[in-house]
Structure formats: structure tokens, C-alpha cells
């Protein structure tokens, strides 16, 4: 299934990495819903109940907005149905972190938001999955192949291009139109985020209070490449067209949208430390590639990677949700320090002289 993700980009980087196309083919950059960029926290180890960046139609918040205009929101992982009658969402008796694509129309918790068009895209650097072996479980980090080219393209269509620092745009409601002359410079060349299909709902406590937006990750049968780790995987949307169709609930009706939920055999992965098993551990070590043949002794490439991770932490990144001791972040990080383009994962996978071994 999917019980842990990572999203280490800062809020403005998430926006730049989430370009999409509207119905007219115009490239656009989503802005954050009011106040949500402050709620979001980058994390190397996101677990259910934490807030994740989610892309969805602006029309869910503004009835006068075009359905193909997208916005970013910070939503809590673990869907709380609108009809739930308790005042404390933690009193739900069943898990809604994941929902199986095969049974979306069978369970009210998922059928209602699906038929209302409440489709969303969860954004993440990648997700963790555990392979059972003898008496223990071995965790893996799973993500899109990273190439020096525009990060919005479908995996098979990515060209080799030199990296270039992307431009930033003002924050606010709605999306920013990218003019023709700005398209090349504005293309995000950093880490390509996973785009995961999900459903969301809005719950308000019966006794009154602020509405709570929550989501669930849709899962499908694992692709052949991943079946040796687990028999299920998140439903991945590969490329702008699949993202657009999943979010455009007016043009693409529910039954047609379900056809987009397919196993994707394009993802790659590497083994990581069991440190990630505890959701309170939230540091670059969670993503570190480990040598399964010599787990007790870190390899030279692992040590090098940790150096890159620690030296390139962006000054824009807020402190993670939980479990990180401040000393784990570089002491020199501050407003005066320029972050390296693309963040620590990008520097590692694209700039390293030694690549991690991909199983």
C-alpha cells in the first residue's frame, strides 16, 4: 500500500515544480490556497495525519473559477468523510489512508467524493514501501527517474537538457500564466515530483468549527518492477495530460477518470535504512541509499551522499513536522545563504559522481 512519503521541497519550489496545462494547452503555475503555504512543512518522512501538498481544481473553493484552473492546498492524509458525525476525527474506526481503485464505487467514504468530482493529485518526492524478508522488513524509496530536463514531461518523453535555475513567481490565489517568452526559463529543472491520484473530502465538526480538508491515496496492483517489494502501489499519473484529465472533473466524468488508474512500470527505487520505520525520524538519513550486502558498514558513496544532503539543505526550507533535532540541519543555513538549485535529492541524483545502484 502507501503509508509513508517524502516531500522535501520548500513551498515556493513545490509551486514551480507543479506546472500544468489547462484545456487550451496554456502552461500555468499553481499558487497556494490562502494561508496553506504556511501550513505545509517539508519532510523526509511524512506519515498519515500529516499535511501534504495537493493539487486540485480551484473550482472546489471558488464556484466562479474555471474548472481547469488549479491551486495548491495543504491537506491532511487520511480521508475524513463529510458525513462523519463525531467531533473528533481520530475516533474513526477504520483507516482511510489508502483506497483500492477496484472498490472506489463500493464504499460510501470514497464513492461520494468520487461522484462529486473531488479528485486531487498528491505531490511527493517519492514514497516508501517495505519488502518482507524473513524476520524483518526492508524499506525502499520509490520515485520517478530523474533526468536533466523539464520535470513536467511524461517519463518516456524527457529530453537531456542542462540544468538551469528556475524563475519564481508571486504567490496568491489561482494560477500564473506563463508567457511564450518565459516558457523555457520557467521550466522546472529540479526534482520531478511524483503525481499520485487521490480523492479528498471536506469535513466540518458537527458542533461547529473550521472545515478540515483530507485526502486518501488511491492504490492499484503493483507494476512488475515493484512486485518484488509489495503487491500494491499508488496510482501514478505520468505527465501533464494525465494530471489534467484526472483533475478536470467537468470534462472527464468519474467512470472515464477511473481508466487513468493504471499500474506504472516507470518508477525506480533504492533500499534505505530502517531509520524510516519510525515516523518520528525525519532527517536526510531516511533517504540514504544503503548497501544491502554490507548494511552495518556504510559505503563510501553513502558517506559522500550524506555530505551533499547536509551541505545543500535549502535556506528556504522550514523545519520538518516532527522528530528532527535542530543540530541535524546545517548551522550556516539562513536568509543570507543561497540554496543550491533543485535541493539535496537533485544534487545527489543528478550531480553525484557515483550513482546509487537501482534494483
Enzyme catalytic residues: 2, 129
Residue appearing with cell numbers 484529465: 245
133: β partners: 136
Whole-angstrom distance, CA of residue 94 vs CA of residue 306: 38
217 in Cβ contact with 98 (< 8 Å): yes
Q: Strands across the sheet with 126-133, in order? A: 43-46, 5-7, 126-133, 136-143, 268-271
What DSSP assignment string belongs to 213-275?
EEEEEEEEEPPGGGTTT-SEEE-B--SHHHHHHHH-TTTS-HHHHGGG-------EEEEB-GG
C-alpha cell at 87: 467531533
For residue 20, give the H/E element and its range.
strand 20-21
152: left (phi over 0), alpha (psi -120 to 50) or beta: alpha
Distances (CA, A) of 157 to 23, 145, 154: 20, 12, 5
Amino acid at each position: 500500500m502507501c503509508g509513508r512519503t517524502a516531500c522535501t521541497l520548500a513551498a515556493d519550489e513545490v509551486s514551480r515544480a507543479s506546472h500544468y496545462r489547462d484545456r487550451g494547452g496554456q502552461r500555468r503555475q499553481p499558487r497556494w490556497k490562502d494561508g496553506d503555504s504556511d501550513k505545509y512543512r517539508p519532510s523526509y518522512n511524512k506519515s498519515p495525519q500529516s499535511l501534504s501538498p495537493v493539487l486540485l481544481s480551484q473550482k472546489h473553493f471558488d464556484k466562479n473559477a474555471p474548472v481547469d484552473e488549479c491551486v495548491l492546498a495543504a491537506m491532511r492524509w487520511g480521508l475524513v468523510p463529510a458525513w462523519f458525525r463525531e467531533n473528533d476525527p481520530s475516533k474513526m474506526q477504520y483507516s482511510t489512508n489508502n483506497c483500492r481503485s477496484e472498490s472506489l464505487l463500493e464504499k460510501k467514504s470514497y464513492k461520494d467524493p468520487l461522484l462529486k468530482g473531488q479528485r486531487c493529485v498528491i505531490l511527493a518526492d517519492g514514497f516508501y514501501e517495505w519488502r518482507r524478508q524473513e524476520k524483518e522488513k526492508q524499506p525502499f524509496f520509490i520515485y520517478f527517474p530523474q533526468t536533466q530536463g523539464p520535470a513536467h514531461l511524461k517519463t518516456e518523453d524527457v529530453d537531456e537538457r542542462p540544468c538551469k535555475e528556475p524563475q519564481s513567481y508571486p504567490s496568491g490565489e489561482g494560477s500564473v500564466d506563463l508567457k511564450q517568452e518565459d516558457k523555457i526559463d520557467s521550466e522546472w529543472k529540479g526534482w520531478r515530483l511524483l503525481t499520485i491520484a487521490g480523492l479528498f473530502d471536506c469535513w466540518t465538526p458537527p458542533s461547529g468549527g473550521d472545515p478540515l480538508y483530507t485526502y486518501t491515496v488511491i492504490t492499484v496492483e503493483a507494476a512488475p518492477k515493484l512486485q518484488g517489494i509489495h503487491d500494491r502501489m499508488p496510482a501514478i499519473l505520468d505527465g501533464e495530460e494525465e494530471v489534467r484529465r484526472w483533475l478536470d472533473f467537468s470534462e472527464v466524468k468519474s467512470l472515464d477518470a477511473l481508466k487513468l488508474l493504471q499500474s506504472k512500470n516507470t518508477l525506480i527505487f533504492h533500499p534505505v535504512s530502517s531509520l524510516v520505520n519510525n515516523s518520528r525520524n525525519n532527517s536526510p538519513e531516511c533517504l540514504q541509499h544503503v548497501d544491502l550486502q554490507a548494511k552495518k558498514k556504510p559505503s563510501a558513496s553513502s558517506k559522500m551522499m550524506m555530505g551533499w544532503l547536509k551541505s545543500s539543505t535549502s535556506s528556504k526550507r522550514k523545519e520538518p513536522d516532527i522528530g528532527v533535532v535542530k543540530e541535524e540541519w546545517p548551522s550556516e543555513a539562513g536568509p543570507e545563504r543561497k540554496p543550491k538549485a533543485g535541493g539535496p535529492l537533485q544534487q545527489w541524483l543528478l550531480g553525484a559522481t557515483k550513482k546509487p545502484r537501482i534494483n
